[in-house]
Structure 1
């Protein structure tokens, strides 16, 4: 059962949290079998403040998601205060059943809720990008979090599935957003910002002037702290959709769901230390070549890009940094004896 304070919160917020026990130590999906994770307990200093974490969840990236969840819990001082919100494809109800059963078996005490994301909401707005994985409708679900999550949830940490934390997520969740920022993320102002948009965008003043008087800094949407109240007040889901509709009429950007976020929020976000998104560890979007960490401390490792650590480990062609992901892998050895 969740802690009393969280249970009260959940009751008043009308959210059903799943905290289940099971005697099974593994779960069978269509292709994968996962071990049961250990239970992690709150320290004596924990209060009643919940930390809300949102992620997308599908069978294709399930192995990465399981590792990410484990890393969040393992490094949290107050793991029982963390509430996960998972968005799954509504068009695949059978997958949602598998995902729910996998979570409740591998994480019997996990506080979570699964929300169906209706693919048709965005499928007609998606333009092909440089990598097919970026064109999956679920990749756009982060733009709809404020609409999907209950309105009593005012702040959420959004995480991709191809990352692990090595620090307490409560520190990231506590990022101050200042008086008017809608979201916070690490910024990378030395990145080639213009490369995310087409020449036709930059040559059209009615479009490119959207960036007038703004500092053009790239940020990765795989790690964000979002003020959902401010997002709803500004109706930013509609603003992002409008850019996607324009993209369908005249191609103005590349790379999937990222550019609409840049169009709306670049130069207007609250900064986060780079340690919270050591991104690009998956290599580029074409070859997935090995990359090193950025200079500085590390709180979160992110295998954004084509190469995923589980795929490279399975192929016996890992990059050196993939060894840092492996300890969080809950996939059961397929050759292990089953009692």
Structure 2
């Protein structure tokens, strides 16, 4: 109930904002990845990162009464843990920190949440540890060269970054004892208990996500794809629906068993030879999984708040419950807030922002 009270307050603040704001390599990646991933290692060329003092230290979040005791504190293989994976890079660091903060704040058992950060610069580990001193987490280095040769141009340059494709390799990156993981993008906040998402039934499917069957599925692929019967026949025996890959629950056991990383890579190889889509890392997931996704309530991905991939226009919430707010699209809330040109709903992201450049009055 506490988050509902906060949310009501944020909505009131939103109305104020509406008034005040303006109109407002030679190896095969799947086979070679184990030898190219270094967990908690050191990079050969560490990039300059924000000083740890750039972020305020978060409060310490403790488990509520009734939480299952964490059996082996800090042990990634503890079966009582909820595993959450996010990418962590300089461009989206502020968003990732806010996402973690939101998860901890709304979790009934925050000490039972284990975070996996996929990075191309492990020096970010120090900043995370200083911002969340009691956080259970591990940093996993993802070598950009593993996927670089497979990446094609996209409608937005940010979608071409190798780290966007790290989610394809979670089954290889995470420890074999991790059987399930929640993957989340870095431009969202969770306003409900993440354990609810964790406990979602996947109905024998490999992944679960909110589906949007009313969306025009054909637009995610080129005319050349649909006119080629070899390509388009991949959907002939299923009823595909669009889903956003920024929020997924993944059964890693099934993923490993059926080799889905290689299946995704094969479609990326097709794309390099014969352009069949224009939009980053999403279409290969649709090609492999659309029509075979366990449906999750739409409240767990109120996406599109960042506008489309070209214009970061303001968007409203979709009808229905809200468990997760997702600024997918080109408009990011921290950039719009800093520029003094926020969209009305950006005020709902601001309380989770721990960056010192933003007014401490927004901290929760």
Q: Same fold (TM over 0.5)?
A: yes
> Which residue of structure 2 aligns with residue 235 of structure 1?
259
Counterpart of 2:127 (choices 84, 102, 117) is 102
Whether the 8 Å CA contact 2:198–2:249 is kept in 1: the answer is: yes
Q: 1:38 to 1:206 in 2, by over 3 A?
A: same
* CA shift for structure 1 position 31: 9.9
1:229 and 1:331 map into 2 onto residues whose CA distance is 37
Whether the 8 Å CA contact 1:127–1:248 is kept in 2: the answer is: yes
* CA shift for structure 1 position 334: 7.5
Query: What's the secondary structure of 2:122's corresponding residue?
Result: helix
1:267 and 1:294 map into 2 onto residues whose CA distance is 22
Q: Is 2:136 the counterpart of 1:111?
A: yes
Whether the 8 Å CA contact 2:122–2:140 is kept in 1: the answer is: no
Q: Is 2:56 the counterpart of 1:35?
A: yes
Whether the 8 Å CA contact 1:34–1:106 is kept in 2: the answer is: yes
> Which residue of structure 1 aligns with residue 115 of structure 2?
84
In the TM superposition, 1:1-339 aligns within 5 A as 29=50, 33-47=54-68, 48=70, 49-89=80-120, 95-97=121-123, 99-179=124-204, 181-333=205-357
Partner deviation per Cα, 1:134-177 (whole Å, 9 max, x = no partner): 00000000000000101100000000000000000000010101
Whether the 8 Å CA contact 1:33–1:334 is kept in 2: the answer is: no
Whether the 8 Å CA contact 2:116–2:138 is kept in 1: the answer is: yes
2:354 and 2:234 map into 1 onto residues whose CA distance is 45
TM-score, with structure 1 as normaliser: 0.87
* CA shift for structure 1 position 333: 3.4
> Which residue of structure 1 aligns with residue 13 of structure 2?
none
1:253 and 1:302 map into 2 onto residues whose CA distance is 23
Partner deviation per Cα, 1:241-286 (whole Å, 9 max, x = no partner): 0000010000011110000000000010100000000000000111
* CA shift for structure 1 position 213: 2.2
* CA shift for structure 1 position 96: 2.1
Whether the 8 Å CA contact 2:51–2:127 is kept in 1: the answer is: no
Whether the 8 Å CA contact 2:52–2:131 is kept in 1: the answer is: no
Query: What's the secondary structure of 1:125's corresponding residue?
Result: coil
1:240 and 1:202 map into 2 onto residues whose CA distance is 18
Structure 2 runs not aligned, ≥5 long: 1-38, 41-48, 71-79
Query: What's the secondary structure of 1:35's corresponding residue?
Result: coil
2:331 and 2:64 map into 1 onto residues whose CA distance is 36
1:302 and 1:31 map into 2 onto residues whose CA distance is 26
Whether the 8 Å CA contact 1:53–1:83 is kept in 2: the answer is: yes
Structure 1 runs not aligned, ≥5 long: 1-15, 18-27, 90-94
Q: 1:204 to 1:150 in 2, by over 3 A?
A: same
Q: 1:334 to 1:74 in 2, by over 3 A?
A: closer
> Which residue of structure 2 aligns with residue 24 of structure 1?
none
Q: How many residues align?
A: 304
TM-score, with structure 2 as normaliser: 0.81
